[in-house]
C-alpha cells in the first residue's frame, strides 16, 4: 500500500497521529492527516484540564470535534489520557485525601462514559513511574497511596467495558529499571484480575537512541497477555532519524501483539519538540523517515 495507514492495516494494525484541532482548518494539515493516517489521538483536548475545567462540569467540545472529524473519514480514535500528574486543572491540584480520590474516580467515570464506543483504547494512567522504577511522587501517589493506579483502571473498566485500557509511559524503550517496574505492576494486575489490556510506549527518543532491547521489551510485556502500542513516537533530527524510525516500526511489526503506532504530530511545523522529529517536514513533504517507516510496515 502507498500510505502509512493502509500499509499498517494490511497486518491489522493502525498508524495514527496526535492532532490539535486548531490545525484541522489548514488544508495541507487536514489532507495529509486524512490521506496518510487511519487513527488519531487528541494532543491535548481529552486531558483533565480540557475536559473538566471546573469540578463536575465537563467540556467535551474539543474531543468531540476531533472524534466527529475522524469518524467522518473512517479513522479510529485513541483516548489520551484519563489520569496524569500534568495538565490537571487548578482545582484538582489543591485536593487532598478522599476528595482527590472522589475527583479522580468521578473524572474517569465522566470522560470514559462519554467516549464509550468512540475510542478503541484509553491511556488510563500516564507517566506514574520514575527512571529508577519508583513511583512518581505526584499528588495522586502522595494523597492516595500505591493503590491509586489499580483504582483508576477499575473505574475505567466500569465506565467503559469495551475500550482497551492501557498504562502509558516514556523512558520505557529498553529493558531498564523503569520498564521493569511497570512490567512487574502489569504482571501483578494480570495475576489478580485488575482490568488492564495494553501498555503504551510513548517512544519520545533521539536519533541515536540505543534500541538494542526495544523489541525484546515489547515482547516481554506481550508475553504477560497484554497488547502493546507505540503511542507517541517522535525521533529527534540527526543522521540516524530515518533508521531509528525504521527500527521502532520493525519491532512493532515483529511483535504479534503490537497493535499499532501513533506518531506525536503530523508535521514538524507543529511538533511539541523543536528538533524536527516527525515524518513530514514543515512543508508537508515526506522525509526520509517517512519512506523507511512505509517500507517497514
Ligand atoms: C504534550 C503536548 O504535545 C503539548 O502540546 C502540551 O503542551 C504538553 O503535552 N507525554 C504525553 C503527552 O503523554 O500528553 C505530552 O503532550 C507529551 C509527553
pLDDT grade for 26, boundaries at 50, 70 and 90: very high
Give residue 170 CA to ligand 1 midpoint distance, Å.
11
Question: Which residues are paired to 41 by β-bridges?
Answer: 18, 78
Q: What is the spatial distance between Cα 89 and Cα 263, in angstroms, rounded to a whole number?
A: 26
Active site residue 43: no
Ligand 1 within 6 A of 43 CB? yes
Q: Which atom of ligand 1 is nearest to the CA of 126?
A: 13
pLDDT at 197: 99
Q: Following DSSP, what letter does each residue of 127-142 receive, concatenated?
A: --B-TTSSBP--HHHH
pLDDT at 94: 93
pLDDT at 99: 98
Mean pLDDT of the chain: 98
Question: Which residues are paired to 273 by β-bridges?
Answer: none
Ligand 1 within 6 A of 21 CB? no
pLDDT grade for 90, boundaries at 50, 70 and 90: very high
Name the residue of 17, 44, 62, 201 to mutate for ligand 1: max ligand atoms within 8 A of Cβ.
44
Quick: pLDDT tens for 223-250.
Answer: 999 999 999 999 999 999 999 999 999 9
Overall residue count recorded for the chain in this entry = 297
Quick: pLDDT tens for 183-219.
Answer: 999 999 999 999 999 999 999 999 999 999 999 999 9
Quick: pLDDT tens for 37-84.
Answer: 999 999 999 999 999 999 999 999 999 999 999 999 999 999 999 999
Return the ∠ at Cα 124 (arms to 156 and 15), rounded to 5°. 120
pLDDT grade for 16, boundaries at 50, 70 and 90: very high
DSSP state of 18: E
Q: What is the spatial distance between Cα 251 and Cα 254, in angstroms, rounded to a whole number?
A: 5
Name the residue of 129, 204, 232, 275 to mutate for ligand 1: max ligand atoms within 8 A of Cβ.
232
**Catalytic annotation, pick one of 127, 209, 232, 246:** 232
Q: Following DSSP, what letter does each residue of 66-109 receive, concatenated?
A: HHHHHHHTT-EEEEEEEEESSS--HHHHT--HHHHHHHHHHHHH
Give residue 47 CA to ligand 1 midpoint distance, Å.
10
- Which domains are assigned to the chain? 4-296 (3.20.20.80)
Question: Residue 40: helix, strand or coil by DSSP?
Answer: strand
pLDDT grade for 175, boundaries at 50, 70 and 90: very high
pLDDT at 189: 99
Q: What is the spatial distance between Cα 226 and Cα 244, in angstroms, rounded to a whole number?
A: 25
- For residue 290, the surrounding DSSP H or E stretch is helix 288-296
Give residue 245 CA to ligand 1 midpoint distance, Å.
20
Amino acid at each position: 500500500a502507498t500510505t502509512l495507514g493502509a500499509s499498517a492495516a494490511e497486518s491489522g494494525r493502525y498508524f495514527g497521529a496526535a492532532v490539535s484541532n486548531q490545525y484541522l482548518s489548514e488544508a495541507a494539515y487536514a489532507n495529509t492527516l486524512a490521506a496518510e493516517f487511519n487513527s488519531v489521538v487528541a494532543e491535548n483536548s481529552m486531558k483533565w484540564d480540557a475536559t473538566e475545567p471546573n469540578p463536575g462540569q465537563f467540556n467535551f467540545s474539543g474531543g468531540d470535534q476531533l472524534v466527529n472529524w475522524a469518524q467522518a473519514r473512517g479513522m479510529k480514535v485513541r483516548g489520551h489520557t484519563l489520569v496524569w500528574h500534568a495538565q490537571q486543572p487548578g482545582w484538582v491540584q489543591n485536593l487532598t485525601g478522599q476528595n482527590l480520590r472522589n475527583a479522580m474516580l468521578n473524572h474517569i467515570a465522566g470522560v470514559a462514559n462519554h467516549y464509550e464506543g468512540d475510542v478503541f483504547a484509553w491511556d488510563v494512567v500516564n507517566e506514574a513511574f520514575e527512571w529508577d522504577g519508583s513511583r512518581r511522587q505526584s499528588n495522586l501517589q502522595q494523597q492516595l497511596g500505591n493503590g491509586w493506579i489499580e483504582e483508576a483502571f477499575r473505574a475505567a473498566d466500569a465506565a467503559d467495558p469495551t475500550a482497551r485500557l492501557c498504562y502509558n509511559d516514556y523512558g520505557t524503550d529498553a529493558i531498564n529499571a523503569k520498564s521493569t517496574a511497570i512490567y512487574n505492576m502489569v504482571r501483578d494486575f494480570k495475576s489478580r484480575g485488575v482490568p488492564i489490556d495494553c501498555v503504551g510506549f510513548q517512544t519520545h527518543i533521539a536519533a541515536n537512541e540505543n534500541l538494542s532491547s526495544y523489541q525484546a521489551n515489547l515482547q516481554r510485556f506481550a508475553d504477560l497477555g497484554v497488547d502493546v502500542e507505540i503511542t507517541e513516537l517522535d525521533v529527534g533530527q540527526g543522521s540516524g532519524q530515518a533508521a531509528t524510525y525504521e527500527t521502532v516500526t520493525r519491532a512493532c511489526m515483529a511483535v504479534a501483539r503490537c497493535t499499532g503506532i501513533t506518531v506525536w504530530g503530523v508535521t514538524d511545523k507543529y511538533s511539541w519538540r523543536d528538533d524536527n522529529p516527525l515524518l513530514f517536514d514543515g512543508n508537508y513533504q515526506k522525509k526520509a523517515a517517512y519512506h523507511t517507516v512505509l517500507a517497514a510496515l
